[in-house]
Each structure stands twice: as C-alpha cells, then as structure tokens.
Amino acid sequence: MSAFAVIYERSNTPVQAGVLERVMERLKHRGPDGSDGAVSGHIAMGHWHFWTTPEEVEERQPLQLSGLPFKIVLDGRLDNRPELISDLKLDSTQGKLLSDAVLILHAYDRWGENCFEHFVGEYALVLLDQQRDELICARDALGDRTLFYATNGTRMVIASEPWAVAGADNSGIELNESTVAHFFSRKAIEDGQTFFKGIYELPPAHVMVSNASGDRHWRYWHPDSSKQLHGKSNEEYVEQFRLLLEESVRCRLRSTTPVGVQMSGGLDSPSVACLAARMLAPVPLTTISYVFDELTDCDERQYIETVKARWGIRSIQLPGDDAWPLKNWQEWPVDPGRPERNAYRLLFERVYQRAQQEGLRVLLTGAFGDHLYGGGQDWLAELILEGRLLEAARELSIHIRYAGLAWTLRAGFLQRVVRRLLNTLPGGRYAHRRGNTPDWLTYFSIKRISKLDIRVDPAFERDNALLGMEAAQGSSSEIFYASRYALEVRHPYRDRRLVEFVLAIPAYQLYYRGLYKHILRSAMQGILPEPIRNRQKPTALTPLFLRGMQREKNTLETCLRDPDAAWRKFVRPERLLEH
C-alpha cells in the first residue's frame, strides 16, 4: 500500500516549514518506489509511491490533470474500472490506460461529492478542490484502506497512519485511555477515536469535507436492507455467488508482478487459490503456506497437496513448529499506531519475507471469509418465515439427531426465530438489551468505555461484523507489517459487491444441512478439490498456541506479576492469573 500526508492551514497562512517532512518520514516504509511532495501556500501534500497496478507505474502524486482545478493523493485500487470508463463516457481504448487516480479526478469533475458511491474497490484519498478551497477526504465502503486526521488550532493534519499524524507536532503524545479500555473489552470505538488523543480515523464509507469554516461528515454508502434477493432455485444463488467471487479474485490479480496466495488447507484461501490458478493458467500460481512436522494437529499438507495436484500450483511450504506465540517477542516488529493483535506474528513474518524473496508485490488471502457467513445463524428463522415449515422441521431434526438437543439450543437457532418474529411486531426491530460488561475489566476501564448496548436485531449484528469499524481495523491491521516487505495484501472476501449479495440472500444459503459456508461449497464444486470442499472441521493452531504458553511461561509470569505494568490500570490481574 502507498501512503499520503496532507497539511492544511484553515487560516490561509503558509504551512510551517518542516511539518510535511516530519509526517512523511513516519510513512517511508510504505513507499518502495519513492516519494513526491508539493507545498503551495496554506496546503502541503505528499505521497509515498508503491506501484502495484500497471496503469499507475511511474505516476507521480500529488496528481493534477491539465484543465482541472483538482489535486489528489490516493492510496488504493478501483475494481469497477470498465463501468466507470463507460459511465464517464471516456474512450474505452484510452480509458484502459488511465490510472485509478486519473479516473477518480474525472469522476469528481463529473459527479462532485457524489462520485464516491460510484466506486468499487479499496481506497483512501484526499482531493483538493482549488476552486472551492476545500479538502475532500474519503474512505472505501468497507474501510480496507485507512485515513487519519487531527486538528490543532487552525491546522489540520491528514495521513495514512495515526503515528504519522502525531509526527506533525513536536509536543508529546497523549494516550487515549478510552481507546485502550475499548481494546481490552475487545470492541472498537465506532466514532473513530484512536490510541492517540485528538487523532481520529475516518470511518468506512465516509466522506469528510474540510474548509475554513470547519468540517462536514457523512456516510455515502450502506447496503439497502430492504432489497432482499429471492432466487428461483438454489442453483441461481450459487451461480451468482461464484460469478461475484470470481470477479473479486480477477480484480485483485491486476498487478505489476506475479500474484501469490497465502494459503491454508481450509475452505476460504484454497477457493481463492483455485480460482486464481484457473485464471492464470498455464502460468503456475505461487502459494505460500506454513506446515508442521511436530505439531501434526496443526498441519494441513494433505489438503494443500490436493490443490497442488489439481491446478499445478507452485506450493511453497514454510516450517511453523518453532514459530510459537511470544518467541523472541522483543524482536517482533512494532506498529507504533496500535497494539499487536496477532499471536502468530512470526508465521506471518515468514510468509511476507518469502513473498518478497519470490519477487511478489501482491498477496491474496482467504481472510474474512468467515465474516461473510455470520448471517447463517438465521437459517431456521428464514425457512419458517418463508413458510417452508416441513423443511425447517426436517433440518432441525437433523441437527438434534447428530449434535444433540443441548448443542442445538446453545447454538441459538431457536432464539433467532423468536427474535425475527419479534421484529414483525410494532417497534420490535428497535428493541435492544444491555450487554454484560466483561468481568476482566477494571472499574477504571468500565467508566471509559461506551455503553455495551447489544442490539438484538440479528441484521445489525451481521452488518456490523462486515461493515463496522472492528471489521475495518481487522482488515487494515496487516498493512504496516506487509509494507515493510514491499507487499500489498488483498482480501477477495472483502469485496463490496460480494458483501452486498451475501447480506441480501436467505440465511439458509449460508448454513444448510449442518454445513456452514454452504453456498461456497456448492459454488466451488468441480473447482475446489473434494477433500477440501467436504471438510467439516477446520484446523486450529491451538497446539502451537499452547506450546508458546508453555515455553514462554517465564515471560508471561513476569508480565502478569509486574506490579507496575501499565495494563493493570485496565485489566484485573487476578482474572488473568486464574488461568
């Protein structure tokens, strides 16, 4: 991913010397292809270049087109280029050669602030409208690229990472204890607060317009929950899903270098790999996986080999037995913008390092595939609401017969039926209940987190898992780490069109006859090897985790028993010591 920095003086006074340089210095890991900057009076714009699509190679940003009073800095990629070229009435032959930044400038010239609803892809950008003396900041629908900002007096600072925004001032940085408390409660703050007090993250699918008078924010896109798809047959749903997933993978293969896939032996990443391999043939696809000789319960070689045999991929398999959590943790890379969330950082570091050695600049993943199917819990409710009572009874009996009554009750299927029926009553959809405060939090933390109101509406729970700030932060959390290896990570399951489709189809397409990801399994028939397609139990890295807890026991105990540890302000130590 590339990166940008913008300094804007609302008072119209010149940008102070050295400010842009300080901010840009903290983003240099994102610019393997160099940087450019421009200072013009009260506005300074800088960009670190990372050319991963053919159309942008050698493009210098900030970018301004002849005859248009706009400048842009962009981190991102558009995936609906043919539609945009057609809608903008550009010559199709010439349009194919235009970079995404150029297309965005033409779109803004055509549609103004309404242009962002026309874009499909992942992006964060700042556009300077010189005629109106305004900055327009925007973030993609799902929030896969990032934009942070802060205002200090009349000066506004915008950058791709919060640590870079903080670099604008020589004064000290103040920790945002509310964000820390939310972090330990395992919830994101939806209003965009970061770990740095006064620095904010623009939420997904939002636009912010800034000028001398202040800022305006609005959400430009949200899936229409009233538009539900009702196919004539299961096959119709499956075919549409397959076409959308294929298109998502195809768009993410647009690259200046060969593309690789970080592949496990589960359902999601092998599906991506098989589709990519079929599209790239006869050129073999490179996949990178971790395997285990000692911790055999973690090993998925038997499944990885089936993809290799079926599609002739070039399978790189890295040893993982010695990459347990907390091993040599003092040497782990540190993202200065947020705490580490990945216990398996060493495994990811090995994958990224090998990808760089292989000359890859783009790596596809199967991450966030699980998020697509969260609505599957409503399968029983939707069968009943559609009047398919016999089918609902038959499916429920299958669950009870094979899983037992206790498991079926704990799974919450029947409770979801009650909830959906309640939604049909006046005001029922807006009912909510107070969530339980995590018992590991201190009173200090509890007072600083927003009320944990959990909406009972399943539609909200499903939408938030796909569209909320927590999902966006999870998706963007690897940008810092992958960028250190000049690598861009792309997630085909984080495609706006695919998300819209999954949110609109019946839940029993996601979970059916005891199988999660029913629609994916059906769509990949004949493409994904049968041993993978018919898997019912995923592989867990629990043995590797337990090895880390055992071998790093002294490190853990030192941390947990340290009376001066900063985390004790937020988390009750006795709750951790119990385990």
* Residue 162 and residue 337 in contact, taking contact as beta carbons nearer than 8 Å: yes
What's 267's domain CATH number?
Answer: 3.40.50.620
For residues 70 and 200, membership in a common domain is answered with yes
pLDDT in tens, the chain (579 residues): 899 999 999 999 999 999 999 999 999 999 999 999 999 999 999 999 999 999 999 999 999 999 999 999 999 999 999 999 999 999 989 999 999 999 999 999 999 999 999 999 999 999 999 999 999 999 999 999 999 999 999 999 999 999 999 999 877 789 999 999 999 998 888 889 999 999 999 999 999 999 999 999 999 999 887 778 887 788 999 999 999 999 999 999 999 999 999 999 999 999 999 999 999 999 999 999 999 999 999 999 999 999 999 999 999 999 999 999 999 999 999 999 999 999 999 999 999 999 999 999 999 999 999 888 877 788 888 888 888 889 888 888 887 887 788 877 787 787 888 877 777 777 665 555 555 788 899 999 999 887 644 444 455 556 777 888 999 999 999 999 999 999 999 999 999 999 999 999 988 888 877 778 999 999 999 999 999 999 988 999 999 999 999 999 999 999 999 999 999 999 999 888 876
Q: Which residues contact 537 (CB under 8 A, 6 or more apart)?
A: none
For residues 183 and 324, membership in a common domain is answered with no
CA-nearest of 440, 11, 510, 9 to 267 is 510
Identify the domain boundary among 466, 494, 522: 466
**Strand ranges in 184-252 using DSSP code E only, listed in sequence order:** 199-201, 206-211, 214-219
* Residue 240 and residue 247 in contact, taking contact as beta carbons nearer than 8 Å: no
Q: In this structure, is the dihedral angle defined by the CA atoms of residues 453, 459, 460 and 463, taken in order, positive or negative?
A: positive
For residues 344 and 211, membership in a common domain is answered with no
For residues 362 and 494, membership in a common domain is answered with yes
Three-state secondary-structure class, residue 167: coil
77: in domain: yes
Q: Which residues contact 233 (CB under 8 A, 6 or more apart)?
A: none
- Residue 495 belongs to domain spanning: 234-371+468-555
For residues 457 and 481, membership in a common domain is answered with no
Residues 472 and 272: their CA atoms lie apart, in Å, by: 21
571: in domain: no
Q: pTM score, two decimals?
A: 0.93
**Domain tally, the chain:** 3
162: in domain: yes
For residues 488 and 388, membership in a common domain is answered with no
For residues 57 and 154, membership in a common domain is answered with yes
* Residue 212 and residue 10 in contact, taking contact as beta carbons nearer than 8 Å: yes
